[in-house]
Structure 1
Amino acid sequence: MTKSSQNPQGIFAPYMQHYGQIPSEQLNKNQPLMERLKKWIEETEAEKITEEEAKAREQQWEEFKEIIDSFRPAGHKLYKEE
């Protein structure tokens, strides 16, 4: 194995602009995305759904599965056992 193949930045350096040299540098580079993910998780948790909405979503999912299977030939259904 050559020295450049052992170093992750060897021949791939031009393609790895976002790769940190040390763990703390990589963490600093990841901070904006980590903040965005944290905000997304908080927003998602704030959007609690009601039981009625959960039932409606379940019904829509079942309808979706039936529609998908209706277009597939017998013996090749994705959601139903035949």
Structure 2
Amino acid sequence: MRDYEPLSLPNDSVTGNNFGMAARDRVSEYRRRMRKQGFRPLQVWVHDARTAGFREEAHRQASAIAAADTLTDCQTFVEAASVSWEDE
């Protein structure tokens, strides 16, 4: 016979502490709440900076951007065709 009551954890839907729910049910409930607030899930894939060659490629691209300080014909056209935000 126990002389104590077992710990009862709350099912708190405000904070998301649904301890009695399985992980997939908590995730499903979280996604339902987020969708109700107007959000949608988004998965983004990015380069892994830990892979071999990432640092060199990032440096190559940064150097190419830094060296491109002169306007090309396409950039000149786009800038000429664009309206300044201050002009509107």
TM score, norm. by length of structure 1: 0.32
The structure whose residues are more often strand, as a share, is 2
Higher RCO, Cα 8 Å, sep 6+: 1
The structure whose residues are more often helix, as a share, is 1
